[in-house]
Structure formats: C-alpha cells, structure tokens
Amino acid sequence: MNAERWRGAVFYQIYPRSFQDSDGDGVGDLKGVLERLPYVASLGVDGIWLSPVFASPMRDYGYDISDYTAIDPLFGTLADFDAVVAECHRLNMLIIVDQVYSHTSIDHPWFAESRTDRTNAKADWYVWADPKPDGAPPNNWLAAFGGGMWAWDSRRRQYYLHNFLESQPDLNLHNPEVQDAILDVARFWLDRGVDGFRLDVANCYTHDRDLRDNPPSGARNAVRPYFMQRHLYDRDRPETFVFAGRLRALTDQRPGRFLLAELASDDPEGAVAQYTAGENRFHTAYSFRFLSKPFGPEVIRKGVEDLFARAPDAWPSWAFSNHDFDRAASRWGAGRGPDFAKTLIMLLTSLPGTLFLYQGEELGLPQADVPFEALRDPDGIAFWPAYKGRDGERTPMPWIAGAAHAGFSTARPWLPIDPHHIPLSVDRQEADPQSTLAFTRDWLAFRRSRPAFVQPGIVFEDGTPEGVLMFSRGEGALRLVFNLGSAPVAPPTSGGRIVYSLGVAADQAGSLLPPGAAVVLEPSPKRPV
C-alpha cells in the first residue's frame, strides 16, 4: 500500500445490514461482504468504508455500541472481520471502519457502572448534570432525534446527556481517562490492519462545560425542533481538538492510515477547515454540503470554492449519497432521466479530495419507498410523514433480478426491496454495456489513468452558458465540462482535444452538449517547430 494512498482515492461505502446476507436471516453480514468484495474491486475503487458491525442492541442499527472491540453475532465474528480486511488488501483495496466515539449504547458496561452512583470509578465517564431547583433539565439543548437532550436517571438523581436517542448516552471526552479508553479501542482496530476510521459525528465529541443555553436559529417552521436552535454549546467545541490531536498522533504512528471526520455543522466549509487544519487534527473530513442542498452548478462551485477560500491547504472528502441521506439519483436527479446517475458519479469523482460512493450508487438506484409499517429507523418513525427517515437509502442491494429477494437473502429482508430496484439489479446491468454499472467501471478506469484527478487544486471557469459547470484539474492538465441544465448548449470546448465523453459522441461534443452530458479535454499536443 502506498503511503497516503487515501488522498484522491475513491471509496465505496458498504452498509453491511443491506449488502449481502450469507446465512439466511434476512440481514447482511461479514461473510456476505467477503463474498461480494471481488465485485467491489471490479468497479475500480481504491477502498471501502465499512459501516458499524460492532456489538450493539441495534436501537440505532449499530451506531449504539455496547462493546467497541467485539463483532455483533448478527454480522459474524472477529475472524470474519479479519478475513474481510485480508481480502480487501489482497484485492489492493484500503478498508476504513466506522468508529462511534461521541456516545455508546445505554447497555455498554461503562454506562452500567457510571450510573450506579456518583463515586464509582467511571462516575465521570459520561456527561451528568444536576437538575435545576425546579427539577427541570440543566439547559435547553435539544436532541437530534426529538425531545430534550437530557434523560433522568433515578439511581444518581441526575440527568445524563444524549445527542441522539435516550438510549445513546454521551461519553465525557473532557475526561482524559475516557480519551485513553477510546485510544485503546482505536489501537485495537489499527492493530487488526484497518487503514483508517470514519469518525461518526466527530464535532459532537465535547460539550460546553458551563452548559449554557443554545440560542434560537430562527427556523421556526423546521420539521425537527433540533433545527430551531443554533448548536453553539453542544457541538463544535474547541476542546474537541485536544482529543483529535491525540487520536491523530496515534494514527500517524502507522504510515498511510487516516482519519475521516463526519461533521454536521451550520457552517459546513468552516467546520471542515477547522477540523482538518494542521497536523494535530483530522486528516480529512466531509460535511453535509452536498448531501442536503438543492442541486445546481452554483451549489457545487460555491461549496468547493468556499472551502478552499477558508482553508487553501485542506484535503476535503465529498459524497453525494450515503446511509443517512436520500439517494442523489432521486434527490438531485428527479425528472432528469436514469442516465443522470452517471453524470453525478462522474462529477463527484472529478472533484479534488477523497471521494465516497455509496452502495447502489453505481447502479443508479433511486430512493426506495418504504411504507410506514415497514420502517425500522427510529428517526423516521418519530417524524413521519414530514420526514420519512433513513430507511429509503438503506434497503438491500439488488443482485439478481429473478432471484428471491433480488439475491440479497433467501429470507425476508429486514427492510423491503423496492420493486423499482429490481430492473436495476447487478446481473441485469452486467449484461448491458450502456448501464450505469458499465459506465462506472469505464469512468473509474479512465480516472485512474490521469494523475490530475488525485492532485490538489481546482479552477472553475467563468462565463459559461446557463447550467454549465466547467473547471480544470491538475494545473490545467484536464478541463471538464458538465451540462447540468435542462437544455442542450453549445459547450466551450475549444483549446483541447476530447479524451472522454458522457452522453454524447466525442466527435459531436464540440457542437452540442445535451442535458447531463459531460466531456474531459486535454491540451492539444504542440506541433514540432
């Protein structure tokens, strides 16, 4: 593995519950992941991000961990995990795994001890606070999944903090002993050969010690009360950088490993700039900028330019879809035709940074329609119908169109397979040279052949027709033109030769670029004098 191979790499996120079931219980598992890794490698990606497979009561489907160093039997064993790591490396792919350090499950032994009284050895391992004189919680903080951020515990006669579900108490990462314990967890997985970590809600690691009230945001009509506050004191605290520095130092002891931080912030570019500044913070980070915003060339350009204006030397990560947000094929591609999924893949993986494709994105899967009675996501159940939760992006992969449950499992899957996904199954697309899957393989092979894509820097061009996004990569080595509008345009493709085209024949791209089409140009070779 090359040092810092993650820079400029394309990763493929696997949500194991929905990838491949190997034992017929309707839930995907590690042996299923192992079985399908050759398929992932065939896409031409550089690595995988594996979502949580750790011991958990699954109230938040693995993001509520009850044992950080154990694999949940639902997914397999540590030996199965080791086999996945070994196979990734045999296939020349990196592997990073989710780590959830902000909170644990209420079932974690640490919390069981912490809640017994106020004097036990782990009494200060979680965030506890006394009630106000009238018995009310200590402040007005609101949880992301609804209700207040404080839950009463009758044993200690105190409130404990939970950013998300009441069953997910927050660790007190102000406490050096807690930091030490978490570093031991990280060391455990690094020693098993993983190439890095995706750090869940990394800007929620610490809180304001004075427990000051959050001010209102002004968003009075938000579906979730959570968004009616500016989260000044329950996240994005400067004390987080102390722990980030310790975690970075541990990771840097193993060359080539890296830390990817997830940052949910009201200031996406500012958060990425802050949390990746210098060598004592995270290596890279992604925000929700392209996961929750309206689509358009101006959105892409502003998001990228704003980040580099704030942090010229930052190495960002980008994604258009993942397990927490509606699939981009529906969110951004609705009404544009099925081939627009190809455009989005090409655009994402042309940006400077480290890129993440979500399972099924290479098939152009739209957001699944999951009826209320089949929902499993507590977030969706709480806010239905205004917000349908995250199950629509978490439904099982369709592998074989004619097989029971699309080849995902021999049993009824934990979430239903959307009938609209069946025609987009892997076996159908394997047989179609015009499919999104075929395009993904072809495009990523081309991308690998051009060093400009893994280099830093991007320059957007002004004066383009409406709906057109144009930029250069690699100090002008490549020039890319995307028609993201709704009408054909005469593209500004002079000054180079077309070396790759999407949605239009290369010999016709100079005259008219249809909606969704894109081209890559290289400077024309100089003629000898």
Cβ atoms of residues 28 and 408 within 8 Å: yes
Residue 485 sits in a domain whose CATH number is: 2.60.40.1180
Q: What is the pLDDT at residue 505?
A: 83
Q: Determine the Cα angle at 60 with ends 400 and 396, to 5°.
A: 5
Candidates 279, 97, 278; CA nearest to 194 is 97
143, 162 contact by CB (below 8 A): yes
Tell whether 128 is covered by a domain.
Answer: no
Write the pLDDT tens digit of every residue in 254-289. 999 999 999 999 899 999 999 999 999 999 999 999
Dihedral (Cα; 61, 64, 69, 70), 10-degree rounding: -40
How many domains are there within the chain? 2
Percent of the chain with pLDDT over 70: 98
> Nearest-CA neighbor of 47 among 170, 251, 196, 175?
196
Token digits of residue 152: 């009463």
Q: Say if residue 182 is in the same domain as residue 260.
A: yes
Tell me which residue range forms the domain holding 505: 457-522
- For the packed helices 340-348 and 436-448, what is the interaxial angle rounded to 10 degrees? 20
Q: What is the pLDDT of residues 123-166, one digit of tens each?
A: 999 999 999 999 999 999 999 999 999 999 999 999 999 999 99
Do 424 and 468 fall into the same domain? no
What the block records as the tokens of 436 is: 């999104």
Instruction: Tell me what pLDDT residue 495 has.
Output: 67
Asked whether residue 435 falls in the same domain as residue 470, the answer is no
Exposed/middle/buried for residue 208 (C-beta within 10 Å: 0-12, 13-18, 19+) = middle
262 is catalytic: yes
Distance between CA atoms of 519 and 500, rounded to whole angstroms?
6
21 is a catalytic site residue: no
What are the pLDDT digits (tens) for 211-251?
Answer: 999 999 999 889 999 999 999 999 999 999 999 999 999 99
Q: Are residues 372 and 301 in the same domain?
A: yes
Burial of 75 (0-12, 13-18, 19+ CB in 10 A): buried
Dist. CA 200–CA 324, nearest whole Å: 11
Q: Flag whether 115 is in a domain.
A: no
Share of the chain above pLDDT 90, in %: 91
For the cut 60, the answer to whether the pLDDT of residue 527 exceeds it is no
> What b/e sequence results for 17-27 when a residue is b if at least 16 CB atoms lie within 10 Å of its CB, and e otherwise?
bbbbbbeeebb
Strand ranges of the sheet holding 150-153, from the earlier edge strand across to the other edge = 128-129, 158-161, 150-153
* pLDDT band per the 50, 70, 90 thresholds, residue 294: confident
Are 287 and 428 found together in one domain?
Answer: yes
Q: Encode pLDDT of 319-377 as tens digits.
A: 999 999 999 999 999 989 899 999 999 999 999 999 999 999 999 999 999 999 999 99
Residue 163 belongs to a domain: no
Q: Is residue 29 part of a domain?
A: yes
| Residues 312, 185 share a domain | yes
Which CATH number does the domain housing residue 273 bear?
3.20.20.80
421 has a pLDDT exceeding 70: yes
Q: Which one of 72, 200, 269, 362 is the catalytic residue?
A: 200
Interval 37-96: pLDDT, tens? 999 999 999 999 999 999 999 999 999 999 999 999 999 999 999 999 999 999 999 999
| Judgement on whether residues 470 and 431 belong to the same structural domain of the protein | no
Assign 3-class secondary structure to 241-277.
Answer: HHHHHHHHHHHHCCCCCEEEEECCCCCHHHHHHHHCC
| Residue 144 belongs to a domain | no
Instruction: Determine, yes or no, domain membership for 498.
Output: yes
Segment (H or E) for 482: strand 478-483
Rounded Cα distance between 487 and 483, Å, is: 8
User: Looking at the structure, do residues 221 and 293 belong to the same domain, yes or no?
Assistant: yes
Among 80, 170, 262, 391, the active-site one is: 262
Pick from 422, 445, 468: which residue ends a domain?
445
